[in-house]
A and B are shown apart, each in its own frame.
Chain A
């Protein structure tokens, strides 16, 4: 049986990621921008006492505005729209990484028309992903907040 997928909404588009990678979903915490990080990295946040890198799923998909001339474009954008931010959801992965999405649609057996989120090569640790898929029970701690 194939692994289920978590389907989320990002900038009006359905995206999917393997459920085995996901640890939990949470409200967006305060994010501290990180100097010198690429635009899709919004910064760092503390999740259950541990620092995780927070990635803007929209930027990851190439849907967001890319402004390479500014050293912290994504971060500044995130700080601006406080109201919009409040409604977003943090999808925490089983590695020091979390994704900001607009909404969680649900868990599906097949991704269907949802676009897979391009997580490969996001951070340079190729072994991490396969370990997470092999070793974990998928979806155990998913908490839906939509």
Chain B
């Protein structure tokens, strides 16, 4: 591991051991009775592995994070009901936990991670192949509209699965006063979990102005009555949801046949010919319109709230006020859910591209007599569907290029001491207002002399000039292949790739190390993105910093600063970093000093800075819309996002902030 301090690694080992102990405990519970595994336990196991992946990523252990990600994907498929928790999965789960434990031990011993063996990934992949797909009618559950608006995809999966298993679905409305509501809610949730499956806890519309209300959605097995559940959870009422099973289609079989899913298509199409169509193609224009309407609704809601505020104290009718409050709470929940749902229709994870590329890698490598595998990092990074579609071709071209020109034949690789199979890596991340996609291979790299000689032969470079090989490769008409190959030499060169990326207002850069490999880095501005952000206040305003750039936060009054070249600096195990107030960096007037508030340690590559903010409000997934270039402003401000409850947050480019903070040092 090139970066990261001993302290982080110690924290990782400690956290990792705790999470793995939890995972083992959940696994042992699951193994006891795998006939109908407890969804809560499955979910808890998934969350433990998900957290482990997150911690590994935070402290810079990519190989470990990659291994945890593969395992997490398997568990996700199981918890969503796409795979049964059978012996194959149980075996892969047990072995994965063991492998991750060894991985943690290795980090503890060596202070770094190393790639997990291919057998580990192969075991997980094998377990992920759907063995049997049975088509069952999908039950329809009549959810109240307020719940339907806020329920998550996972919760919906649990709801449908429970209905399918004949469980009774109950909604328990709970009413608390502000004092002590947490205690009451905890007790009710505990009771619900003990008597059935607590699918979710949702806000309710409080009947009293100083009260808080919730709704628990619970699935109870046969033999447990809804009335008993309500009594145990101290709920004044209960509501049993209606479940209906749609009638089979005319001509459909009563019991649809069991269908064996072919391994090659299993990933993409785990359904059968009898499955009803579950997707519909929608014009992107319509989706954009829906997004705009959702945004306008959020603004109208905020305006309504603002308009009501001065009126409320003048109204004596308490009942009417309660009605207004109830309606506003409902509107808030629906508006927030609508915004998220509308955005979700246009955002796709990088996985969307990765699946296509992954197949292409396998097929192309085979046709070239080579071996190669594609590894994806940041697969959860979400992109606008339009952008993802436009990036698919350039990426495919680069994959072809890497396999054709970069990755050597297996024998040649062995002779060089490399593994027989070439390794392609696709890394996706958001940086400021850009999306970065880097495709690397561990092939032979660019032979600069050969590239220059070929360019001269073709008259692309004048005799006296010696441009860099990385630039020549993007010249129109350039190719080093001696023959037009089946794969990449079809007259479409890297110049076309560059043009395509330029059309998206992006850049593509190639870097190469002879003998070790080549990396193409595409940078394109986001058109739309969901960015996990740390919300902070500075200068009395709220700002969002991408969570991926935040190393940690510390109370400002407990740290000791050093004066280095007349500037306050903070020293930790990894070195020295400048300390500066965020509002000062942004040119806003400051009321605090370096000892009031919270330190946010932000990083950009090896550079770090401690930014002093007034308050950290928490983490939030924000829909960040980039600000057009022609709106004049501090260049650290890259976009805007609507806050829940109205108002805007300005999204900041952490890289530029770190750079600005460091500028003053020299």
Task: List A residues at the B interface (Cβ < 8 Å).
Answer: 27, 29-30, 32-38, 41, 44-46, 48-53, 70-72, 95-97, 123-125, 128
The answer to whether B632 touches A41, judged by C-beta atoms less than 8 angstroms apart, is yes
Tell yes or no: B291 within 8 A of A by CB: yes
The answer to whether B639 touches A49, judged by C-beta atoms less than 8 angstroms apart, is no
CA A30 to CA B300, docked complex, whole Å: 11
The answer to whether A38 touches B632, judged by C-beta atoms less than 8 angstroms apart, is yes
The answer to whether B295 touches A44, judged by C-beta atoms less than 8 angstroms apart, is no
Tell yes or no: B627 within 8 A of A by CB: yes
Which residues on B sit within 8 Å (CB–CB) of A123? 630-632
CA A38 to CA B646, docked complex, whole Å: 25
Which residues on B sit within 8 Å (CB–CB) of A45? 648
- The minimal Cβ–Cβ distance linking A125 to chain B, given in whole angstroms, is 5
Closest to A96 in B: B628
Which residues on A sit within 8 Å (CB–CB) of B20? none
- The minimal Cβ–Cβ distance linking A31 to chain B, given in whole angstroms, is 8
Residue in A27, A33, A49, A52 whose CB lies within 8 Å of B292:
A49
Which residues on A sit within 8 Å (CB–CB) of B589? 70-71
- The minimal Cβ–Cβ distance linking B278 to chain A, given in whole angstroms, is 28
The answer to whether A34 touches B650, judged by C-beta atoms less than 8 angstroms apart, is yes
Which positions 602-627 of chain B face chain A at CB distance < 8 Å?
Answer: 625-627
Which positions 516-563 of chain B face chain A at CB distance < 8 Å?
Answer: 539, 541
Given contacts A30-B302, A30-B647, A96-B630, is CB(A71)–CB(B587) below 8 Å? yes
Given contacts A33-B541, A46-B648, A51-B640, is CB(A125)–CB(B295) below 8 Å? no
Which residues on B sit within 8 Å (CB–CB) of A35? 539, 586-588, 633-634, 636-637, 650
The answer to whether B294 touches A34, judged by C-beta atoms less than 8 angstroms apart, is no
CA A100 to CA B578, docked complex, whole Å: 40
The answer to whether B299 touches A46, judged by C-beta atoms less than 8 angstroms apart, is yes
Question: What is the size, in residues, of chain B's interface with A at 8 Å between Cβ atoms?
Answer: 36
The answer to whether A51 touches B625, judged by C-beta atoms less than 8 angstroms apart, is yes
Residue in B293, B586, B635, B648 whose CB lies within 8 Å of A44:
B648
CA A70 to CA B633, docked complex, whole Å: 15
The answer to whether A53 touches B634, judged by C-beta atoms less than 8 angstroms apart, is no
Q: Which of B294, B588, B635, B649 has the most CB of A within 10 A?
A: B588
CA A46 to CA B293, docked complex, whole Å: 12
Closest to A82 in B: B306
The answer to whether B586 touches A53, judged by C-beta atoms less than 8 angstroms apart, is no
Which residues on A sit within 8 Å (CB–CB) of B647? 30, 32
CA A50 to CA B541, docked complex, whole Å: 21
The answer to whether B630 touches A125, judged by C-beta atoms less than 8 angstroms apart, is yes
Q: Which of A27, A49, A50 has the most CB of B within 10 A?
A: A49
Given contacts A34-B650, A35-B587, is CB(A124)–CB(B296) below 8 Å? no
The answer to whether A34 touches B631, judged by C-beta atoms less than 8 angstroms apart, is yes
Which residues on A sit within 8 Å (CB–CB) of B640? 32, 44, 46, 51
Task: List B residues at the A interface (Cβ < 8 Å).
Answer: 291-296, 299, 302-303, 539, 541, 586-589, 625-637, 639-640, 642, 646-650
Question: 7 new A-B pairs (CB below 8 Å) besides A49-B293, A96-B628, A96-B630?
Answer: A34-B634, A35-B633, A37-B634, A49-B291, A51-B639, A53-B630, A125-B629
26 pairs from A and B in contact (CB 8 Å cutoff): A32-B647, A32-B648, A32-B650, A34-B631, A35-B539, A35-B588, A35-B634, A35-B636, A36-B586, A36-B632, A37-B632, A46-B625, A46-B640, A48-B296, A49-B291, A49-B293, A49-B295, A51-B625, A52-B631, A53-B627, A53-B628, A70-B589, A72-B588, A96-B630, A123-B630, A128-B630
Residue in A51, A72, A125 whose CB lies within 8 Å of B627:
A51
- The minimal Cβ–Cβ distance linking A51 to chain B, given in whole angstroms, is 5
Q: Which of B294, B627, B639 has the most CB of A within 10 A?
A: B627
The answer to whether A48 touches B295, judged by C-beta atoms less than 8 angstroms apart, is yes
CA A53 to CA B650, docked complex, whole Å: 13
Residue in B292, B630, B637 whose CB lies within 8 Å of A36:
B637
CA A28 to CA B12, docked complex, whole Å: 50
Which residues on A sit within 8 Å (CB–CB) of B302? 30
> Which 10 A-B residue pairings sit nearest by Cβ, starting from the closest?
A36-B634, A49-B295, A53-B631, A49-B292, A123-B630, A32-B648, A35-B586, A96-B628, A34-B633, A35-B634
- The minimal Cβ–Cβ distance linking A127 to chain B, given in whole angstroms, is 11
Which residues on B sit within 8 Å (CB–CB) of A53? 627-628, 630-632
Given contacts A36-B633, A46-B299, A53-B632, is CB(A30)–CB(B627) below 8 Å? no
CA A35 to CA B543, docked complex, whole Å: 11
Closest to B538 in A: A35
Given contacts A45-B648, A50-B625, A125-B630, is CB(A34)–CB(B292) below 8 Å? no
The answer to whether A49 touches B294, judged by C-beta atoms less than 8 angstroms apart, is yes
CA A29 to CA B626, docked complex, whole Å: 19
Residue in A37, A46, A97 whose CB lies within 8 Å of B642:
A46
The answer to whether B296 touches A49, judged by C-beta atoms less than 8 angstroms apart, is yes
Q: Which of A38, A44, A70, A72 has the most CB of B within 10 A?
A: A44
CA A52 to CA B630, docked complex, whole Å: 10
The answer to whether A46 touches B295, judged by C-beta atoms less than 8 angstroms apart, is yes
Closest to B291 in A: A49
Which residues on A sit within 8 Å (CB–CB) of B292? 48-50
CA A128 to CA B573, docked complex, whole Å: 51
The answer to whether A96 touches B648, judged by C-beta atoms less than 8 angstroms apart, is no
CA A37 to CA B635, docked complex, whole Å: 10
Which residues on A sit within 8 Å (CB–CB) of B650? 32, 34-35, 44
Residue in B291, B539, B628, B646 whose CB lies within 8 Å of A51:
B628
- The minimal Cβ–Cβ distance linking A75 to chain B, given in whole angstroms, is 10
CA A89 to CA B646, docked complex, whole Å: 20
Which residues on A sit within 8 Å (CB–CB) of B588? 35, 71-72
CA A45 to CA B299, docked complex, whole Å: 10
- The minimal Cβ–Cβ distance linking A134 to chain B, given in whole angstroms, is 19
Which residues on B sit within 8 Å (CB–CB) of A124? 630
CA A51 to CA B587, docked complex, whole Å: 22
Which residues on A sit within 8 Å (CB–CB) of B293? 49
Which residues on B sit within 8 Å (CB–CB) of A38? 632
CA A35 to CA B635, docked complex, whole Å: 9
Which residues on B sit within 8 Å (CB–CB) of A52? 631
Which residues on A sit within 8 Å (CB–CB) of B627? 44, 51, 53, 96
CA A102 to CA B502, docked complex, whole Å: 42
- The minimal Cβ–Cβ distance linking A23 to chain B, given in whole angstroms, is 13
CA A71 to CA B291, docked complex, whole Å: 34
- The minimal Cβ–Cβ distance linking B529 to chain A, given in whole angstroms, is 13
Which residues on A sit within 8 Å (CB–CB) of B630? 53, 95-97, 123-125, 128
Which residues on B sit within 8 Å (CB–CB) of A128? 630
- The minimal Cβ–Cβ distance linking A76 to chain B, given in whole angstroms, is 10
Q: Which of A29, A38, A46, A95 has the most CB of B within 10 A?
A: A46
Closest to A41 in B: B632
- The minimal Cβ–Cβ distance linking B616 to chain A, given in whole angstroms, is 19
CA A32 to CA B627, docked complex, whole Å: 13
